Amino acid sequence: MQNKYNQLYTEYTTILRNAADNNYAAAVLGWDQEVNMPPKGAAIRGRQLATLASQAHNLLTSQHLETILKQLADCEELAANEKNNVRLSLLDFEKNKKIPAAFVEELTVLTNECFNCWLDARKKNDYTVFAPYLAKMIRLKKQQAEYYGYEKHPYDALMNDYEKGATVAGLDPVFKRIGEKMPILLNKIKNAPQVSNQCYHLYYPKQQQWDFSIEVLTKMGFDFEAGRQDYSEHPFTTSFSPCDVRLTTRVDEYNFASLLWSCIHEGGHGLYEQGLPEKEYGLPLCEATSLGIHESQSRLWENNLGRSLHFWSYFYPILQRKFPQQLESISLNEFYKGANRVEPSLIRTEADELTYHFHIMIRYEIEKLLIEGSLQPKDVRAFWNDYYKKYLGISPMDDKTGVLQDVHWSHGSFGYFPTYTLGSMYAAQFFEQAKTEIPNLNIEIANGQFSSLLSWLRKKIHHSGRTYTSNELAIAITGKGLDADLFMNYLDEKYTKIYNL
């Protein structure tokens, strides 16, 4: 009997890994599309991506796979990790089979067209170029929500792709709390003497910035034998296995923060991908818990470490030696405070740790309204500009710094944005627990020693793959679920010191 189930499990893993091979081959083409592909390659690239997506979908929705999964689900002899893979694959199967193969192909082709249209719209700085394609994407995402099914709001079905169990009913109170509590802290900061970040806006040559970013990533523990960094229009991380993880960034020679924070942020994503168990390739246990937990890793490295005084106690002397003309007269404390300057700004990826969540809230509101049909794509620019004025008191100077700044909608990633705020909250919670369990962690960080923290993250988060939901993982690590109050307390304590409130 045991041999029968061993054979079935082997057959199951072969099917899933064949599907993964298709999906990761498509991911390679997607990475190439954003990094290397010549403009004329776009149309046929869409066909290639659609073919691979369709083949993977057919494998993952076959009756043969369903039969195997149901037989394996009844097997008590499977090891714990095998049971978890089967359990999660059954859930995935039930979800995947709701989507027709023809729809998958149509969505993949449109995503390719949409992305290239977004690039063209950014070059022309004109949202009207992108709006008709966004309308097509919204139509398909509404259809996808109907295929999945939902109880209360169609946006719930799309969020569930990124954060299992997330709902409008659950997230509305989170953003309401941010909208009520964060302005109190922001008003205190507004009335305090502003810290300077002028040193970030001097001239920093592109290659020297790049070299420093590689040094930071290496020190963080990113394995360049199993990954690389390149340039792209919008920073992102993609992975083809734990042994091949790609980061991208962008450089502004008069804004050092642009590369700095995106590099550390994407590095956090990359470390998570490299930490997933290679032996489970293609199976649920070689996938991240959720996008919220993925974002917790990038936000933990970017904010809890990268914007900390301990982090720069180690890296700032190195940076001063690389850029003596720019930084020789700037103290460590000035540089640190500049890294945490709070000021409403237009670009989400360059926003400070506080106002960042208003950027997310605006996108969350727009996506909800688009999917429920209360907002039309042609009106998104006006809505965007009005909400930036309402929440941040500023208005985009053009479409490139406004409604066209993010790549997500061109990828069809509706439901993704809320995970950034959830990730920040989980990050604060996890980092607080890490400090409790790792003696002298801040001292280690100040000495450029990150191995203890990375080992802790590997053991507590990375190695478990999708074994837990986000909330279950938080409970397993910290003894309680998502704690929004801890996040707000962390911000209060940090910025009270920086601004002498």
Q: Return d(Cα 300, Cα 455) in angstroms, integer.
A: 14
Tell me the C-alpha to C-alpha distance, in Å, between residue 181 and each of 158, 292, 296, 357: 28, 22, 21, 12
Residue 375 main-chain phi, psi, to 5 deg: -130, 135
Tally of CB atoms within 10 A around 318: 14
Taking alpha carbons only, the member of 302, 272, 278 closest to residue 473 is: 272
Q: Are 334 and 152 in contact (CB under 8 A)?
A: no
Q: Are 274 and 223 in contact (CB under 8 A)?
A: yes
Q: Tokens at residue 76, please?
A: 């008590």
| Selected catalytic residue, list 34, 82, 105, 266 | 266
Whether 66 sits among the annotated catalytic residues: the reply is: no
Q: Return d(Cα 479, Cα 193) in angstroms, integer.
A: 39
Q: Are 470 and 164 in contact (CB under 8 A)?
A: yes
Q: Which amino acid is at 344?
A: P
- Using DSSP bridges, classify how beta strands 227-231 and 244-249 pair: parallel, antiparallel or unpaired: parallel
Q: Which amino acid is at 61?
A: T
What three-state secondary structure class fits 238? strand
Tally of CB atoms within 10 A around 58: 14
Taking alpha carbons only, the member of 288, 217, 246, 274 closest to residue 461 is: 288
HEC per residue, 76-103:
CCCCHHHHHHHHHHHHHHHHHCCCCHHH
Active site residues: 266
